[in-house]
Homo-oligomer: A and B are copies of this chain.
Amino acid sequence: MTEAGSSAKERDAEAVSRFVELFAGQLTDAGMARMPARVFAALLASDDGVLTSAELGDQLRISPAAVSGAVRYLSQTHLVSREREPGSRRERYRVHNDQWYEAITNREALLRRWQSAIREGIGAVSPGSPAEHRLRETLEFFEFIEVELTEMMQRWRDKRDAADGA
């Protein structure tokens, strides 16, 4: 009876489910919608990082429609990729570490929109006012962050490559 006890040799479905819900909850708090968060967490904890629609619906007790909505969001934001096993109509969803690290740190589009909004603001306040100064500094800050994030991810890739190569 090696698998009946809590020998920790085998995957404990219940403990995995607890993790999935816990981590999904954190992601939800951080702003991600609930279903995408749960699907993402389930994929992260899955054995090979791949699950089918049916497996997801089954594990999370949600309808096919909910799975569909969640994976659409996740693949649009590049947190997971969809695959189709050739000669099957079963779709598979995969989480790939390299991909989703990039996805969550790629705030470039967001930062650009913010910068653009701030420039609007600079045009609206009185020239030379403290408000203008404040907004200019804010703009500089966002520009700084944008560059820094890019460099940070390059450092991460280097670190990963070094670790894998060793």
Contacts and interface: CB of A to CB of B under 8 A. Distances in A.
Given A26-B113, A44-B135, A117-B26, A124 B18 contact: yes
A121 B44 contact: yes
A90 interface: no
A15 to B, nearest CB: 4
A4 interface: no
A73 interface: no
A23 B125 contact: no
A52 interface: no
Contacts of A152: 145, 148, 152
Given A144-B156, A156-B144, A97 B44 contact: no
Contact of A125 (B16, B141, B148): B16
A121 B23 contact: yes
Nearest to A8: B127
Interface string A119-153: 01101111101110011011001001100100010
Interface residues of A, number: 51
A97 B135 CA distance: 9
A20 B49 CA distance: 43
A144 B101 CA distance: 12
A97 B9 CA distance: 52
A148 B101 CA distance: 14
A124 B44 contact: no
B22 A125 contact: no
A155 interface: yes
